[in-house]
Structure 1
Amino acid sequence: MQRVRVKVCGITRVADMQSAARLGADAIGLVFYPPSPRFVGIEQAAAICAATPAFVTTVGLFVNPTYEQVCEVLERVPLDILQFHGEEPEVFCCRFGRPYMKALRMADDLDVLAAAEQYPAACGLLLDSHVPGVPGGTGTTFDWQRIPAQLSQPLILAGGLDAANVSDAIATVRPWAVDVSGGVEQLDADGRRHPGIKSEAAMAAFIEGVNRV
């Protein structure tokens, strides 16, 4: 079986990117959605990308942006892949001269195959948990049995993944890649998460869980 790729999303610091890369992450995600607690500004993102080593993919996450907003980011930040996490149509996603991933939130009434057919040019489909009003980073899983086996695009599994469940997730779903954000963030003494601040130990445990399958 091929090795499952790992994307660590919600990176906000150069040091966290360097730790993720050193531990074996294949990609890092930068969130350009201002309401998110993991949002990064253009200068911050440019600094992270400038320090990213070769063969680590940089992914920019957007939620229902305007064309001008994406172009403004791309003028300063050399992203490899765009990730659209809202209701963006295929024609919009294809306008920027970059490969793109499309995120689908697994609402109870979502027809995954029908939704996937709307994005034939996507280099990957990211399936995430659905929480009304929250486009991502929910920390909750969804029923992996709902994922159809006949998706034509590479599948990136997201939603509530951490070191404790990622091995089971991979064994069940057999995805191309897994995407983690909150599941590798630092926790304080009370167990409260620090959004955007990654724990090197948690990232190491997560990647070990991926490699163990």
Structure 2
Amino acid sequence: MRVKICGITNLEDALNAIEAGADALGFVFYEKSPRYITPNEARKIVETLPPFIQTVGLFVNENSSTINYICKKALMQLAQIIDDNSYTDFTLLEIKALKVIRAETKEDILNSLDNYYLVDAFVESFGGAGKRVALEWFKDLDCSKFILAGGLSEDNLLELKGFNFYGVDVSSAVEISKGKKDKQKMFNFVKAANEI
């Protein structure tokens, strides 16, 4: 199972996440987030990363030109986009995009089976709330294109066994404080994900 560790704000956490076995690192370009990072700071981190690690920029209700500009400046390889208010024209993006479904009901998931999506629980704020999507919503569905986020930790990953999710995304459960990761928690999380 693929693992993305999101909310990277410094080089030490990035390198520790990679050492733990993360496949992708997430950088939050949403200014109201406590895990926000500037494009310049993100670029400094990315320039020192080893190969074969995917860099993902997280955006919230942002226009396409801003997403293109930041991704280019920060050397992002993928844009993860929350677009609740239809700000983003996906046809104008110059980078591959992953849409985020903030699921309130099972129907939100049922309408999105054809492409790759990141599925998170709906909360009023954007991300890092630790709320989990109801797993029963995924029962009898093909989850092979879903990346699950929200409320995941090393202690509950085993509950995902049998669903065949494409990957998992974690942020707050592997932190010491908002924006600062815990190396051992990252190792434990990736190890648990690999055992599913």
Alignment TM-score, normalising by the size of structure 1 = 0.84
Match of 1:175 among 129, 154, 165: 165
Match of 2:96 among 94, 99, 115: 99
Post-superposition shift, 1:106? 1.4
Answer whether contact 2:56 2:80 (CA < 8 A) is retained: yes
Aligned to 2:49: 52
Answer whether contact 2:68 2:94 (CA < 8 A) is retained: no
Q: 1:113 to 1:91 in 2, by over 3 A?
A: farther
Aligned to 1:31: 28
- Alignment size in residue pairs: 196
Match of 2:4 among 3, 7, 31: 7
Aligned to 1:63: 60
Aligned to 1:127: 119
CA distance in 2, matches of 1:147, 1:140: 16
CA distance in 1, matches of 2:87, 2:180: 32
Post-superposition shift, 1:113? 2.3
Alignment TM-score, normalising by the size of structure 2 = 0.91
Paired-residue identity, % = 31
Structure 2: any 5+ residue segments left out of the alignment?
A: none
What is the CA deviation profile of residues 119-145 of structure 1, one whole-angstrom value per residue up to 9, with x for unaligned ones? x6x5x21110111x2122211112111
Q: 1:102 to 1:211 in 2, by over 3 A?
A: same
Aligned to 1:141: 132
Q: 1:108 to 1:100 in 2, by over 3 A?
A: same
Post-superposition shift, 1:177? 0.4
Structure 1: any 5+ residue segments left out of the alignment?
A: 187-193
SS in 2 for 1:163: coil
CA distance in 1, matches of 2:127, 2:79: 15
Residue identity opposite 2:83 in structure 1: G
Runs of 4+ in 1 over 4 A off after TM superposition: 88-91, 148-153
Q: Does 1:156 align with 2:110?
A: no
